[in-house]
Amino acid sequence: MHGTIFLVTQKFVESNYGNQTWLDLLEQAGCPVTHFSPVQIYPDEYIGAIVGVACKALSVEPTFLLRELGKFAAGELIGFSQSLLHPSWKTFEVIMNVETLIHTTIKHQNSKAQPANIQSFRVGENEIQVIYTSRRGLCSLAHGILEGMAEYYDEDISVEQVTCTKESNAFCTFSVKRNSSVESNADFFLSQLPESPSSDSPSRNFEDHLNSETVVADLDAIKSATVIDNENRSDLDFEVSDSIHETNLPKKFGRYQILSLLGTGGMGSVLKAQDIYLRRTVALKTLKSEILEENQVQHFLEEARAMARISSPYVVQIFDVGKTDGRPFIVMEYLTGRTLRKKIQEGPIDVSTTIRLLSQITKGLDAVHLGGLVHRDIKPDNIMLFQDEQNCRILDFGLSHEKYKNKEKANSISGTLEYMSPECLSGLPADYRSDIFSVGTVGYEMLFGSQVFRRFSHIDTIEAVKKFEPEFASVDKYIPADLLQLLESMMQKDRDKRMSNCREILERLKAIKIES
């Protein structure tokens, strides 16, 4: 049992009954440890004995005490994870991310810890199904944690246990329901639309996007890596094949007939396909076969379903998710035309267009974050421009997640080095503030026409991201000081000091005055 559980239990007892009661419990339970460490693991028998003695003293059942402990632990968990929580999240958003929060906070302290598995699935606008599995069978504790989260956010939410392993079920499940329905905010969605809608439809092609440079880089190997041809380099384990027959990929995924292989990256492949029912061309993304462990398949599908619920004109639309012969896939819009990368290659972008595109990227990212997701790979290659090049859409999130790494990639980082945040390059998990850093680097590149942190080698690029302080000034053209100050605040090395509220960023972008 992880030391954090003992510390939370100690705080629970002391806050309700005093320090002496805690010491008495330890003595009566025969626990040889009196000071617990959050980075240590202790025998499960210790917590079992402590709970047993406490139940006897209070004349209550273990299920009741564990549930009350869980309610208390919920607030502690939220406190531990505060830096990982989006400011707008409440109960449902936290529950949808609770396993990541638990594993991040506990495993970051001790990589050998084995916390419970808690998977959450949105089954409706106002209902979540939670599946809990643990060899310790502490479902009452999990029940209390779910209730405690609702109490923390002061929301009218009920938690009902539907199945339990103690009743010969395969796992424990909970139904979490809002007792008062939350309706979607139509006004907010309308505010997301372009200020000057173009009659042009979005450009429709993925080929340009496949020049991206997503890295799945071994942290030890990149220390000696250099790039011989810096101008034409590719940092990605990336291939583009003219024929699907050159791969071992299925020729059909459900109702989707594969037409061609668009490209493969570190985590999966992107395919051009035809929906044989609706007779439309789509893009289909699937994981690589060598990382198809069951838990990774489930994480992939869960995140895909979350992506499909995102409603924003600035985020690529997800049409479908599914599995073929155990291989998961996501079906999305087939977008063509050129990426923001292609436009930047022609030179710096004017201030007015930069502000407009930055606003749209931020709006799209806000929708992603509100959906409980982190993009993790914002860069010009993942921004597709409309034909008028005044509007854009965010592409390609979900495949660069730490959850999809295989065992051989355990000591690796996922993303594109020159756009990754300092904390991610230091091995810390990405959160919504990491995305904001990446948006800042994209904004800088639009204005100045160059990648501010890119260097000759991987290790030099990493050092630049962590230590190099860019010049936020221009001698070649006029750039409003307010815009430069905003980018500087978005690119702060310390994420606790970084501007990270998308709504606030949008207000500041809107307030920038451009000299004629």
- The residues carrying an active-site annotation are 388
Query: How far, in whole angstroms, is CA 117 from its chain's centroid?
Result: 18
First to last CA, the chain: 64
What six digits make up the tokens of 303? 């995140």
Q: Please state the length of the chain.
A: 516
Both tokens of residue 280?
């439309």
> Which residue is listed with tokens 């000091």?
497
Buried/exposed 416-439: b ≥16 CB within 10 Å, e otherwise: bbbbbbbbbbeebbbbbbbbbbbb
At 288, phi and psi to the nearest 5? -65, 145
Alpha helices in 30-130 (DSSP H): 44-58, 62-80, 91-96, 98-109
- Both structure tokens of 65: 């005490």
Angle at 45 between CA 42 and CA 47, to 5 degrees: 75
Q: Of the candidates 447, 441, 446, which has an alpha carbon nearest to the alpha carbon of residue 418?
A: 441
The position carrying tokens 């789509």 is 282
Could you tell me where the beta strands, DSSP code E, fall in 265-311? 268-275, 280-287
Token pair 């299925």 is found at 250
In 280-295, which positions are buried (b, 16+ CB within 10 angstroms) versus exposed (e)?
eebbbbbbbeebbeee
Q: What is the token pair recorded at 351?
A: 């201030």
Taking alpha carbons only, the member of 302, 268, 471 closest to residue 377 is 268
The dihedral formed by the CA atoms of 193, 195, 196 and 198, expressed in degrees to the nearest 10: -20
Neighbours of 266 (CB within 10 A): 21
Q: Hey, what are 515's tokens?
A: 């000299």
Please give the Cα distance from 187 to 428 (Å, whole number): 36
Contacts of 9 (CB under 8 A, 6+ apart): 47, 50, 69
* Opening angle at CA 187, ends 184 and 188, nearest 5: 75
